[in-house]
Amino acid sequence: MIIGVNGQLGHDAVKLLSPYHKIVGLDKDTLDITNFIELQNRITEIRPELIINCAGYTNVDDCEINYESAYNTNAQGCYNLALIAKKYDCILVHISTDYVFDGEKDEPYIESDLPNPINIYGSSKLLGETIITTISPKYFILRTSWLYGTHGNNFVKTILRLSETKEVISVVNDQIGTPTYTIDLINVFSKLIKTNAYGIYHISNEGRCSWYEFAKKIIKLTNKETTIIPITTNQSKRKADRPHYSVLENSMLKHRFGYTLRNWEEALTEFLKVDME
């Protein structure tokens, strides 16, 4: 059972996993995870062996205003899922974020580092994590970062769209993270779900960059003429604070499985070739 199939990750998860698993895909129009009774009835009907929760309130700035909706989806939804998954002995896979960290560290975050979110989005996602780890005996919490894919909206598509009409685009240069391709994330958790190595995992492509460097690479790989101008976080005037450094180290993947993801630049190059064909 995959929840959130209209989002970029859920959409790609259905596409990649359906040849190997019997999948029931649901979205917010067909299932409200904040409604316990509705969720329980649907899971009772489907009786999945595994639930992948790709649903989330992910608009970071909107979360600062609509914080009740953010907590309902990102935390209450997790509470409902964890309780019902435990009742039916389901494995629960939940997607989380690098924004559970405050960005004050000067080296990549590992799974055992203490979270300290600085915005509502990160706080609501951390609460969801905590609820799952408290209730569910069989869970994979997968923290990822700067996600992009072929379906839905993301930073790569925004830059490409803006480049069609703008000669100059201003992009923040003092936030450092790692762009992650949906396909690479799904390839990893498709392997994890075949194991009982439950726990919290960081899953992002290797390497690091700023949003500015990310945008520059997108423009270069697509041979656009648009000029990318670096600005500071303060100049961007966004509602929500962002961590200045949120690079994730995939420590548990490497330690438990010897698995290393490819570099973000290699992944982006492949994505742009596929997306532009």
Is 80 exceeded by the pLDDT of residue 171?
Answer: yes
Is 70 exceeded by the pLDDT of residue 268?
Answer: yes
52-72 pLDDT tens trace: 999 999 999 999 999 999 999
For the chain, the structural domain boundaries read 2-154+179-208+246-264
Catalytic residue flag (residue 259): no
Is the pTM higher than 0.85?
Answer: yes
| pLDDT value at residue 276 | 54
From the candidate CATH numbers 3.40.50.720, 3.40.1190.20, 3.90.1150.10, 3.40.190.10, the one assigned to the domain spanning 2-154+179-208+246-264: 3.40.50.720
173-218 pLDDT tens trace: 999 999 999 999 999 999 999 999 999 999 999 999 999 999 999 9
Mean pLDDT for 120-140 is 98
Is 70 exceeded by the pLDDT of residue 277?
Answer: no
List 79, 109, 121, 148, catalytic entry: 121
CA-derived radius of gyration, the chain: 18
